[in-house]
Amino acid sequence: MNTNPVIDVQSKHVTIRMFTDAPLDEEMLNTILEAGRRAPTSSNMQAYSVIVVKDPQVKKQLAVLAGNQKHVETCPVFLAFCADLHRLDETCAMHEVEMSNNLETFLISTVDASLVGMSVQTAAESFGLGAVMIGALRNSPKKVADLLGLPRSVYVVFGMCLGWPDKTNIPPQKPRLPKEVVIHHEQYNNDNIASSIEQYDQDLASHYESLGKNLSRSAWSGPLSKNLARPLRPEGIVLLREMGFNINQFSDT
């Protein structure tokens, strides 16, 4: 198989939630963030911002807002990746133009923030750092925005814990869905999805059992189906509207 240093880093990715107390070198952190800033961006809008959080008290409050995820508090550095339409609004005002704030600009800013976050994580892992992305900050978007001093039309898409991995607690890689289910050639392949998912359920169940977790044999489809049977964060859309994102095309349910 063809490979190179970037492929090696990506292929070895695991989620890290346990970190040592060792601080991050400031120059290394800046290098990582600069690499993230080179991520692709729609029409060069650069509709994102990154908040670097090191204050223990702020991280502690973010951990609570993220559902009491302890690693948010204990990681040396926490990064909040934000969709940012505020700066674009200010840019339009400089030219006496009112920005068209709609579903498309919401998607552009959210995708931009996501691309930067992925680039940052890859860069961080290339130095041997560990990371975990925290989507649960979207549980309380307004409270998170207030805590981080975000202006109107800015929200945190996800956060990231960053630090040196505790090498005594590095998990094994989790199996992924079969490539035939997610990689399609020329047209979407709808064949054998159910059987592929059933096989993945078994593979994931075996993975959890190897870690001493006694979970359902439907290790992926069972919990996922249960979660998707109800609206996910239905109040989030209402809050995002209040925060300045015009996403009225979305249904609350």
- Nearest CA-CA partner of 43 in 107, 97, 121: 107
| pLDDT at site 252 | 47
Question: pLDDT of 181-217, one tens digit each?
Answer: 999 999 999 999 999 999 999 999 999 999 998 678 8
The overall average pLDDT reported for the chain is 94
Question: pLDDT of 221-238, one tens digit each?
Answer: 999 999 999 988 888 888
Q: What is the CATH number of domain 5-171+231-242?
A: 3.40.109.10
Enter the pTM of the model: 0.94
Q: How far apart are the first and last CA of the chain?
A: 45
Confidence label for 26 from pLDDT (cuts 50, 70 and 90): very high
Map out the domains of the chain as residue ranges: 5-171+231-242, 179-219
